[in-house]
Structure 1
Amino acid sequence: MNEKLREKFAAGETAFGLWVTSEASAVTEVAGMLGIDWICIDMEHGYLDYKDIQGHLQAARGTDMTVLVRPPSQDLEPIKRALDVGAHGIVLPLVDSADEVLAAYEHFYYPPIGRRGIGGERSVRWGLELESYVRTANEELLFIPMIETQKSYDNLDEILGVSGIEAVFLGPGDMSASRGAVGEWEGPGVAEINLDILRRAKERGISSGIVARSTDEAIQRRDQGFGMVSLGSDIGLMIRQVKSMASALGKDTVGHRWF
């Protein structure tokens, strides 16, 4: 679990991923065929549920692709259930402090680190591999907090200092909103904040992730040293490609007219 992704972290290479917002498990199946390093299934926004997560995990089986889940909150129920369905790790949204990381650890880790309960669900192959999973889960699962608010940036050193953090994920849009630039991807000062987070995390041996909105931006983020770069979301990539083709064909996509 997560071996390929951790190898890239250790080598200082960029692992390219995909944000999954659709329930269609074929998206994950194709991502695995294409050699995508990781996906993040987004429950924070949209309509995906645990049955959808299970479908994506089944589609990823047989690959070495990491399957992460972004839960809708930092609460026990979504973290525990995503892991029980079989997620390889969690991308925790809207983390403001080290205390919030430690509180979420209670739900994420088995004792003695946390208080995650032991069940017989899909993560343990319905009980058939319970002993081996429980024995190694605390070491194998990935916990990735999102640094996406001014408060989290103010408390960055404390968050990065929490034991067990191997990567953080940046959220420029929410960081901008928390600084008064609602609706902007990189509002005033946020581009510099992103690079400062990247630098300070790297000094501690921690990788940083970010979403790219274009091929050029993905190249830029790779060259800046980001260890995880999302190529976009499944639906977003479809829209990007259709708009690009429509523009080349002289079609009007602004008014949503294809023909």
Structure 2
Amino acid sequence: MNEALRNKLAANETAFGLWVTSEASAVTEVAGLLGIDWICIDMEHGYLDYRDIQTHLSAARGTNLTVLVRPPSQELEPIKRALDVGAHGAIVPLIDSAEELHAVHEHFYYPPLGRRGIGGERSVKWGLDLEQYVTNANDELLLIPMIETQRAYENLDEILSADKLETVFLGPGDMSASRGAVGEWEGPGVAEMNLDILRRATDRGISSGIVARSTEEAITRRDQGFGMVSLGSDIGLMIRQIKTMAEALGKETTGHRWF
């Protein structure tokens, strides 16, 4: 798990990803065929569930694609169940302190690092590969906290000091909202904070991830040194492409019918 992604990050290359919000497993299949490095299946927002995670994981089989899940909370159940169906790791939302990240460790890792229970689900090939999986999971799985509030920024040094931390993921929209700029992607001061988080993480040998909203922004984030850059979401990319084509064809994109 995650070997190809870790190799890119270790080589200071940018690993490009895709945020998955649709249940259609063809999205993941195509991402793998195109050589996308990672996907994040979003359970925090929208309607995706554990059955959807499993179908996306099946679609990724035979590729180097890292399949991460963003659980709806930091609680035991969604993290444990996402891992049990075979997720390669988690991007955990709203981590505000080192204490909160340590609590997630308890759910995420097997003893002695945590308290994750051993089950016979898909992650261990229904028990057929249990010994190998549980022996290696603590080293292979990837736990990525999201830094997306003013409080997290204030506690950044303590969060970055946590054990086994390899990558953090930035959430500019929620960071902006926590600072009073609700609905803005990079509200006042947030652009500078993003680069400060990137610098401070890099100084500790920790990579940083962020979502790009356009090709130009993806290039900028790559050039700034972000190790993981999401090209957008599956549905968002479809909307972006359709709007671009419609506008090029002289069609109005704000109405209900374009053609």
Normalised by the size of structure 1, how large is the TM-score? 1.00
Residue aligned with 1:45, SS: coil
Alignment of 1:26-175 (within 5 A): 26-175=26-175
Whether the 8 Å contact between 1:57 and 1:67 is mirrored in structure 2 is: yes
Counterpart check, 1:206 vs 2:210: no
Aligned match of 2:7: 7
User: For each residue in 1:4-51, what CA deviation from the matched residue of structure 2 results, as whole angstroms up to 9, or x when unmatched?
Assistant: 110011100100000000000000000000000000000000000000
Q: Distance in 1 between matches of 2:166 and 2:255?
A: 44
| Residues 170-227 of structure 1: CA deviation (Å, up to 9, x unaligned) | 0000000000000000000000000000000000000000000000000000000000
Is the Cα–Cα contact under 8 Å of residues 251 and 257 in structure 1 kept in the other structure? no
Q: Which residue identity is paired with 1:19?
A: W
Secondary structure of the structure 2 residue equivalent to 1:67: strand
Question: Residue type matched to 1:170 in 2?
Answer: L
Secondary structure of the equivalent of 2:91? strand
2:226 maps to which residue? 226
Aligned to 1:179: 179
**CA distance in structure 2 between the partners assigned to 1:212 and 1:139 by the alignment:** 29
CA distance in 2, matches of 1:92, 1:52: 18
3-state SS, counterpart of residue 231 of structure 1 = strand
Task: Name stretches of at least 5 consecutive residues in structure 2 with no aligned partner.
Answer: none
Task: For residue 254 of structure 1, report the CA deviation from its aligned partner.
Answer: 1.1
Contact 1:73-1:92 at 8 Å conserved across structures: yes
Residue 190 of structure 2: aligned partner: 190
Report the Cα distance in structure 2 between the residues aligned to 1:255 and 1:216, rounded to whole angstroms: 27
How far apart are the structure 2 equivalents of 1:29 and 1:119? 27
Deviations 1:78-105 (A, max 9, x none): 0000000000000000110000000010
Give % identity: 82
Distance 2:86 2:31 in 1: 18
| Aligned-partner residue type, residue 60 of structure 2 | A
Gaps of 5+ in 1: none
Per the TM alignment, residue 256 of structure 1 is displaced from its structure 2 partner at its CA by 3.0
Distance 2:255 2:99 in 1: 47
Check if 1:19 corresponds to 2:15: no
- State the Cα deviation string for residues 146-177 of structure 1 (Å, max 9, x = none): 00000000000000000111000000000000
- Structure 1: distance between partners of 2:190 and 2:19: 22
Deviations 1:115-171 (A, max 9, x none): 000000000000000000000000000000000000000000000000111000000
Counterpart of 1:119, as a letter, is: G
DSSP-derived class of the 2:17 partner: strand
Q: Aligned partners of 1:15 and 1:145: how far apart in 2?
A: 17
In the alignment, residue 208 of structure 1 is paired with which amino acid? S
How far apart, CA to CA, are the structure 1 residues paired with 2:190 and 2:147?
A: 12
Q: Distance in 1 between matches of 2:68 and 2:223?
A: 24
User: After the TM superposition, which parts of structure 1 deviate over 4 Å for at least 4 consecutive aligned residues?
Assistant: none
Amino acid at match of 1:164: K
Find the aligned partners of 2:245 and 2:183 in 1 and give their Cα distance: 26
Q: Which amino acid aligns with 1:9?
A: L
CA distance in 2, matches of 1:61, 1:147: 30
* Per-residue deviation, residues 220-248 of structure 1 (Å, max 9, x unmatched): 00000000000000000000000000000
Task: Report the alpha carbon displacement of residue 255 of structure 1 after superposing the two structures with TM.
Answer: 1.8
Matched residue type, 1:100: E
Deviation at 1:257? 2.3
